Every structure is written in C-alpha cells, then in structure tokens.
Structure 1
Amino acid sequence: METLDLKVSIKECSIVYPSQETEKKWLFLTNIDQILNFSVETLHFFPPHNQFPPHVVIEKIKATFSKLLVPYHFLAGRLKPSHENGRLEIDCNGAGAGFVVASSDITLDEIGDLVYPNPAFQHLVSKSLDVFEPDDQPLVIVQVTSFKCGGFAMGFSMNHTTLDGLSFKMFLDNFAALADNKPLAVTPCHDRRLLAARSPPRVTFPHHELLKLHTPLPPSPDSSNISVFKDTPQDLDFKIFKLTAADIATLKLKAPSATGSGDEGHVGKKTRVSGFNVVTAHVWRCKALSFDAENNPERSSTLLYAVDIRSRLVPPLPMSYCGNAVLTVYATAKCKELENEPFSRVVGMVAEAAERMTDEYARSAIDWGELYKGYPNGEFLVSSWWRLGFAEVEYPWGKPRYSCPVVCHRKEIILLFPDMKESGKNNGVNVLVALPKKEMEKFQALFKEFMA
C-alpha cells in the first residue's frame, strides 16, 4: 500500500499551562517508569460534527487540556535527574505542555483504511517543539489536525514514563469528562511510591525476562529509544494479519483445555483460553519458526508480553493508579515444541507466563530493577493495544471513528490492536508484523497453515 501524502501544514505551536496554580515538587519515578523513557504516539480520528466545527473543537480541546493539567500537574513538568540522588524524576515545575494546530488538504475519507498503519500518520503528531531546548521538551504534546471535510485527528505524543496504557485510557476519560463540563471520571492516584523497591531490595526469583546492563545508563531526559528493541536499519516488509471474531473462536476451539507445564490444578482455567492467549500463542509459533534460518529444532524462542499488576499485588494497587503498573512476563520453548506440541500446550505456556506474576514475583522484579537497571530480554515482545478501549471514550463531539498507536516498524515487536467496529460488532484483532522479506513469507505461510 502506498504512503498517502496527507498534505499537513502546521498553523500554530503554543505552550499550554495548568489553568490554576499547581504544587511545585519532584515526582518519584519507579523502576518500571525509569526504563520507559521514550515517546509513545496515539491518534484519535473523529468524523465531522455540526456543533463542533474545527475552530470550535480546537479551542475546546486547548481549554480542556489546560484544565486537565491541574489534576495531572506532572504532565506540565520536565524529566530531570534529581538533585538529591541523580535518579530520573519529574520536576513538577509547571513549565507547560505542547499544543499544535495543523490542517490537512484532504478529507478523512480520502485517507482510506485508518486501520492500516500508514507511515504518513507521523505528520499527525508532534514529537518535539522548536521553542524548547532538546533537554527541556514537554512530556506531552497534543496536535489537533483538521481535515478538509470538517473531521479532525487528535494526536498525543507522550513520554511513557508518565502513563501506561490503562492510565492513559483513564486520562482520556477525564479529558472527555472535562470537555463536557463534568467532574473527573476518575481521580488519578499519584502515589508512585506504592511501587517503590523494598529496602533493602530482595530478588527472590530468577528473572529470565530481564537483561542486566553491564554499564548502567546515566539518567538522562533524552534516553529515547534506548532499549533492547532498537529500530532495525534493515529493510523490513510489514503486514497486517486480521483475525476476525470467528477466527479467534476457531483458535479457542483448538485449545479446549490448555495445559502449560502440567500443573493440573490450573487446567481449564478461563484465562488459559482467552482471546489474548490464543492469538499470542498462534503468533509465537509463526514468529519463532519463521525466524529459524538454519531450521534448528533445538533453538529456544522466548516470547515477552506486558501484564498489568494493579490487581495482582497484595494489597492491590488502586485501579486509579496513575503511572506504569505493567511488568514483562516471559515464556520459553524450543522450536520443535512450538511446531510439534498440541496448540493447547502452547496456549498453556502463554497463560502460565502471566500466572507467574504474583505479588512476590512483581516485588522481586521491581527490586531487580533497583539493583541491575536492566531491560526486557527476549526474542520478541507482543504489545497489545487490543482491549485498552481508547475508541470507547465518549467526547462531547462523539466517539472516535478509530483510535490507534502511531507505529514504528520493529522486527522484535508485534503489535495487537483493535479492528474498526462496525454496527456495534467487535470485528476481532489486527496483528502488525514487521520482518525481513524471506521471514515474512515464511511467517505468512505458517499463519495460514496453523489457522487451518
């Protein structure tokens, strides 16, 4: 599919400050927050609305953003090493967030398939503002781009240290509530010390999902893209594999009683045959076996994915916890197992990875981060935006036609994101894969073969 020129021109860049005075202080960042020092961009497309033509909606969004920076005061701050201990924290100094107004010379319908991760979507978000120095960039920039038809896109570029997927969904719910002159939908909980390491740290599990850094990275506001999953310079083919609700039901039928490593106490647990588990197991088989250039059945493949720990801790974190409450879990198997074992066994291994995430395991992983400052370690990561519900947020100008991440194509990250909903139906999931051409051909063949 060709990249469509969206003909975007920037009209205005400004700084948005909290609408009232906020407390100046330093916000502690957990060991989970620390390793997520990179930008995440999301897009929310809206069709034309009679009561909210572009000039009205732009003013409304800007005013709402300013109000929202009061309960989310840290988003108007800056990422800096703390004066006390050199640790990366947020200086809640009220320096402001970014706001960009842009317009496109085409209509929303002319873009065509909004699900397709068009590289041109990069023009609908702003990652930095020229008015600030590189080490003084805002933690969040909102760009509103109006289309020729009267529809518009709201693009957020946000440093991941600030929010995870669930707390960003809560942020959007609050955005919608304030835009509609209602009170906050959820009062965010800013106590990140709930996820602080223990003193002294106690690592009680071997964390195969984490990689020690021999030379810890210096804290820096600009360690963007420092990660095991770096952008790959090689040419990558990328494709979206659509799985309908019926396809997912078929995969579930192939795994009626998933059994991980033979722990009979858990057999048939509902989570074992969830949509996420069967889709991830299917993708893992295809990825591991397409990667195997030498056709080595003894080669081990390690899958990683993130798990929300809010409800897994004792006591549980408040669901309103605002920050990153996700940890990486892993499953490892030899290629021959992934190829020859029953599908239900692979699904069981995927499910077991999350079941490992108890309160003590989570605390141990956080303490491990205190000691070793490492990063997730595996062959690839499945990043799921599937159930976050960004497209369910009801703004005064309606729900988005579609909400999606702005993707960068990385060989080691496979993205799951929702399909567009039509007439109230959930039409399944999209799997975005980026691979070198020969691996992609094999992946595609296996994807079809294992579905049969």
Structure 2
Amino acid sequence: MEVKKISSTILKVPISHPYELPLTIFDRFADNIHIPVLYVFTPTTSSNADIISALSKTLFHFPTLTANLSTNSHGRPCLTVGDPQGGALLVEATVSSKLEDHLPFTPSPDFTLLHPEDENAKHSLQVQLNRFQCGGLVIGVTNHHRVADGQSMGSFFVTWGKMVRGIHNDPLPAVYDQSWLKPRHPPLVQFDHWGTDFMPLSSQPKECCLFNPIVVDPSEITNMLLHFSPEFIMKLKAQTGKLTTEKHTTFETLLGYLWRKVTIARQLDDKECTMLRISVNGRSRLWPPVPLEFFGNLVLNAYPKANSKELIEGGVATAAEIIRKGLRFIGEDYFRSFIDLGEVYGDRDLVPCYDKDTNLLSPILEVNSWLGFGFDEVDFGGSGTFRGFLPTWEPLEGLLVLIPAASGDGGVDVFLSLLEKHAVVLREISHTLD
C-alpha cells in the first residue's frame, strides 16, 4: 500500500483565555497512549473540504481534544485547553490503489500508514484523510486515551458525522461537568485498589498485579479479525442456560467462549491462573447515572480469574458466569471508592498496574467492548457504504476488542492479537462448538 501525504495542518479552537482542567482519577488511570482506529467508506463520500470544515466546527464543542497534557503549578497532571502549542493535527493523503483491492479490511501492518504516527504524538487528536484512486475514503484517527475514553469518542465521531451532513445536535453532546465525580465527605476507600488498579505506594506491601515480564519480538505477534453471526451467538447462549435461569448477555457469552478458546490456543498449564482485564463503563453504574455524553474517562477494570483447567472443562456456561460475577463486583461502591482514592492520594504519583505490562500479556487477556458506543452509526455523508471500523495493527499480544460487525448482519467482529503460533491454533478452533 503506497500512501502519500500531501498536506498537514493544525486545527485550533478559538479560546481567548487558555485554562487548565485537572485530570480526574479516571483520566490518570487510563492508558498513557494514543488509540489508533480506522473508518472505511466506499465512494462516493463527502469532500475532504466538507469533512475538515465539519471537524473544525465539531472541535469547538469538544475543546479538550485540542488540549495539551501538562502539569499545573502544583505538579498535578492537567489538560491545558487553548494552549498555543495545542490543536488537532489534520493530514490529507492519497493512496495509489483502489479501496476495493483491500476489502474486506483485515488487520495488516500497512494500516499504520493510514494514520499519523501514534508514538510520542504531540497532539491529543490526530486525523488522516486517505483518498484512494476510486474515491474511497479511510479516515485514520488517533486520540490520547487520557483525554477521552471509547464512549466519549463515540459521541465525538457521531457528532462530527452529523456536522458533515448539516445536522446540528441540540442539546450539545459533550458534558464536562466533573461534579458528577465528587468524592464523599469524608472519603471512604472501601476496596483495596493497590496491586489491582494502581501499583502499591513505596510505603505499602509489595504485592504485585498479575503480569508477564517476558518481552517477545514484535514479529512473533499477529492480529486477526473473527466474525460471529447472530445465529452462532444464539447457539452459544443456549449453552449458558445450563447453570442459571438468568440469561447471559451477548458480551458475557461471547467473551466466555473466546476466553476458553484463547486459553486452549495459548496451551496454558492446567493449574495456571488466567485473567481477563475488562474495561467497565461507570456512567450507568453510578447513581444518579452520569450522562452518556460525559466527556473524558469514566472506566475501570473488572478482573475475572480462573484456573486454566477449570475454565476449559467448565464450558461456556462456567466462563460466562465467572465473567458476570467479575463485572457485577465493579459496581457503584467500587467506583465511589475509586473516586475517594483520588481525593486521598491524588497528590501522589499514581501508577496503573498495567504500566508494568510488556508486549506479552499472556496469561492475561485485555478486553475492550466497543459495542453500543455508536461507532457503527457514524455517517460522513455521500452515497458510499460504511465498510468497517477497527483498530490498526497492534503489536501487543493479548488484546481483544469486540466491534459491531462491519457486515451489518447484527453480529460481532472480534479483533484479537496473539502470538502467531497461537493464532494458528485459534483459527482452527474459533468456530467449533463444544
């Protein structure tokens, strides 16, 4: 794939007086990285000029995406909105081939050519418009995770698409009111977040999170995209009814199925502990509920664990039930405890446990669900067809992302990164029912 960058510019939001917005405890817990994704559209689409104009208008309502990550006078991490060095990077590029030559999009290292460099990026939001010979369009976007989580970026993308089509949201979609995250008085840290969410402080016992210290050559890691139809998922759900009368969700069922399959493919020892690290959206878990339009980060992790042999022999029903219990543990009390932790220890150097991760997560599986975030509802105008939304190439073993199926059949696509030798096994068993 030959990609030629033809122009780049910085889009700024007109702010007369720059201001600092402190990072919340949830922002500080988020990955200190850029998240790169691709949107794929067949021709015809709106012009680059219309898409860029709409992006400028949209950023006015999402100003933190143009902010700089910095520290305030007290040494606390913050966003500086209106910083002269800030703004969003916008790149226009052409691709020498036709889009149809690359469809359907399946993970490839070439994907990294379709978005700006995400390592050590200077801007919180980076956008690259890639025009193919046929007029097809791939929009590559990277955003800093400490500025916005998946729910927030879903709202941003949907609003941007509406702006392109001349539809203006009323009320405006972004909510920045941090009063939703006020600590209790007095603060009450009910749960032990040390060694689970954050690394223990120097004065605390040296209990460690589960992690693998081994680093592998990135060439040993591959990415794959699996599709699961609604019919296949219904068959899985029929298996989960064996242990409970309460129906399991699509997420619990499919993830339980995949957890077992990946454990088999990884060839873990029978007694080895395997763990999921599942992103949990706190907006609906807090009371009163935080609006879905809250912009920023409001995500913690659930950590379901199981013995490898127990997981494999227990079937999908057992795996789904372990996941359900793990998710329900991360309820309002846990989120409130985490908020209060930020009040008590906010002036300390808090390091998320996953900062110890190498590029080999096994026996951990990091799980993100992009279902229900509206990514598949994005429409940039024109008569072209939406053909996919997916991460770019990720050289991180153990990453699993659930995505609305690009086929539009109501199923689920699963992006998964594994060692190549394990991916070979998984491809053979990925759709075999026990």
Matched, 1:241 2:229: no
Aligned equivalents of 1:163 and 1:24: distance in 2? 19
- Report the alpha carbon displacement of residue 363 of structure 1 after superposing the two structures with TM: 1.7
Q: After the TM superposition, which segments of 4 or more aligned residues of structure 1 sit over 6 Å from their partners? A: 227-231
Equivalent residue pairs, number: 408
Contact 2:107–2:224 (Cα < 8 Å) also in 1: no
Equivalent position of 1:284 in the other structure: 259
Aligned equivalents of 1:107 and 1:22: distance in 2? 44
Can you list the C-alpha shifts for 1:355-381, whole angstroms capped at 9, x where unaligned? 112211112234446645333597221
Aligned equivalents of 1:40 and 1:195: distance in 2? 24
- Report the alpha carbon displacement of residue 404 of structure 1 after superposing the two structures with TM: 1.7
Equivalent position of 1:27 in the other structure: 21
Cα 1:312–1:49 shift into 2, 3 Å = same
Of 39, 63, 68 in structure 2, the residue corresponding to residue 73 of structure 1 is 63
Cα 1:161–1:193 shift into 2, 3 Å = farther
Q: Secondary structure of the equivalent of 2:134? A: coil
Equivalent position of 2:199 in the other structure: 212
Aligned equivalents of 2:340 and 2:351: distance in 1? 10
Matched, 1:41 2:24: no
Cα 1:230–1:147 shift into 2, 3 Å = farther
Contact 1:392–1:400 (Cα < 8 Å) also in 2: no
Of 97, 101, 107 in structure 2, the residue corresponding to residue 106 of structure 1 is 97
Can you list the C-alpha shifts for 1:200-236, whole angstroms capped at 9, x where unaligned? 65321234742515579xxxxxxxxxx9999853512
Which AA in structure 1 matches 2:6? K
Q: Secondary structure of the equivalent of 2:175? A: coil
Cα 1:405–1:251 shift into 2, 3 Å = same
Can you list the C-alpha shifts for 1:25-55, whole angstroms capped at 9, x where unaligned? 11121122113221011211222227x3xxx
Contact 2:10–2:88 (Cα < 8 Å) also in 1: yes
Can you list the C-alpha shifts for 1:124-147, whole angstroms capped at 9, x where unaligned? 111369xxxx68x11111111111
Q: Secondary structure of the equivalent of 2:297? A: coil
Contact 1:124–1:143 (Cα < 8 Å) also in 2: yes
Of 427, 430, 442 in structure 1, the residue corresponding to residue 413 of structure 2 is 430
- Report the alpha carbon displacement of residue 17 of structure 1 after superposing the two structures with TM: 1.6
Can you list the C-alpha shifts for 1:295-322, whole angstroms capped at 9, x where unaligned? 3x22221112111111110111122101
Cα 1:22–1:363 shift into 2, 3 Å = farther
Aligned equivalents of 2:66 and 2:417: distance in 1? 35
Aligned equivalents of 2:329 and 2:63: distance in 1? 35
Q: Secondary structure of the equivalent of 2:396? A: coil
Can you list the C-alpha shifts for 1:51-76, whole angstroms capped at 9, x where unaligned? x3xxxx21112222222222112222
Q: Secondary structure of the equivalent of 1:421? A: coil
Aligned equivalents of 1:440 and 1:34: distance in 2? 33
Which AA in structure 2 matches 1:155? G
Of 374, 386, 391 in structure 1, the residue corresponding to residue 352 of structure 2 is 374
Can you list the C-alpha shifts for 1:223-281, whole angstroms capped at 9, x where unaligned? xxxx999985351244333322221111101111554xxxxxxx51x4xx211111110
Equivalent position of 2:330 in the other structure: 357
Contact 2:129–2:138 (Cα < 8 Å) also in 1: yes
Aligned equivalents of 1:125 and 1:228: distance in 2? 30
Query: What are the residue-to-residue correspondences of 1:174-185 with 2, within 5 Å?
Result: 174-184=159-169
Aligned equivalents of 1:215 and 1:292: distance in 2? 36
Query: What are the residue-to-residue correspondences of 1:221-370 with 2, within 5 Å?
Result: 232-234=216-218, 235-256=220-241, 258-259=243-244, 267-268=245-246, 270=247, 273-293=248-268, 295=269, 297-368=270-341
Identity %: 23
Equivalent position of 1:90 in the other structure: 79
Which AA in structure 2 matches 1:118? S
Q: Secondary structure of the equivalent of 2:168? A: coil
Q: Secondary structure of the equivalent of 1:241? A: strand
Matched, 1:202 2:188: yes
Q: Secondary structure of the equivalent of 2:226? A: strand
Aligned equivalents of 1:74 and 1:436: distance in 2? 36
TM-score (norm 2): 0.85
Contact 1:231–1:409 (Cα < 8 Å) also in 2: no
Cα 1:389–1:229 shift into 2, 3 Å = farther
Matched, 1:412 2:420: no
Aligned equivalents of 2:185 and 2:98: distance in 1? 56
Aligned equivalents of 1:258 and 1:317: distance in 2? 33
- Report the alpha carbon displacement of residue 12 of structure 1 after superposing the two structures with TM: 0.5
Can you list the C-alpha shifts for 1:171-216, whole angstroms capped at 9, x where unaligned? 1121122223332254311123533555665321234742515579
Gaps of 5+ in 2: 204-210, 358-362
Matched, 1:17 2:12: yes
Aligned equivalents of 1:364 and 1:233: distance in 2? 39
Contact 2:155–2:374 (Cα < 8 Å) also in 1: no
